[in-house]
Amino acid sequence: MDWEQLYERERARYDDGRARPAPEQLLRLGNAAYGAGLSLLMLDRADDASTWLQRAAARWRESWDHATRTSWGRPVGAIKAALVAGGDAGAAGLAEWALELGSETAESPIGRYAATLALLVLDRDAEAGRVASSLRNRADFPPDVAEALAFMAGRDATGYAVAVESVLDSFETRESYLEDVPVADTVIVLQRLASRRGLAAELPRSALLPG
């Protein structure tokens, strides 16, 4: 994969969006910044990646004010971007924001996904476990992601390891990725959260993960 080329493409998309100042461009800007950040992460340019990922989180948060109140992918994306960037303080602020939006009681599974991530960021694992359990056995949410979140919240290292490897497998067999940037970002996010709990799994090498 030519990660440098992908980064340049995403940077150009971001610059093009900035040249069209309008609220509807904010989502596009967030997507492009995230793609640029992930590409730089794969190039082992961590500091530059962090800058772009924080930019993605900011644009997605701004875009919420111009979206419907069920656009839960935006707080999910913002929290994920902050976690991948390595900014714990930024992630905590976004987590508080996601909970203030009512994600914990959202009907949408994506809303409750946002709440679970937020609660894990804030080390409120018992609450995170309860919300994650509500995502299990649903046809409209990836079962292995729900399992990984629930096992992590319950500090079950074995269960988490099996689930997160299944998430990685699902990325390796899919045909589409956000911004067409083939990175297993959900696995990176899960591993960042798991590492804080001493639960990070030993995963097989993958072309979809940095390093």
For tokens 């997160």, what's the residue? 164
Mean pLDDT of 165-193: 96
* 103 closest CA partner among 74, 126, 83: 74
C-alpha span between 199 and 105 (Å, rounded): 27
Question: Taking residues 153-182, what's their average pLDDT?
Answer: 96
Q: What pLDDT score does 76 carry?
A: 98
Q: Is the pLDDT of residue 184 over 80?
A: yes
Q: What is the pLDDT of residues 65-84, one digit of tens each?
A: 999 999 999 999 999 999 99
Average pLDDT, the chain: 96
- Taking residues 113-122, report their average pLDDT: 98
pLDDT category, 89, cuts 50, 70, 90?
A: confident
User: Do the Cβ atoms of 128 and 144 come closer than 8 Å?
Assistant: no
Cβ distance 26 to 57 under 8 Å? no
Domain 3-195 adopts which CATH fold?
Answer: 1.25.40
The predicted structure's pLDDT at residue 162: 98
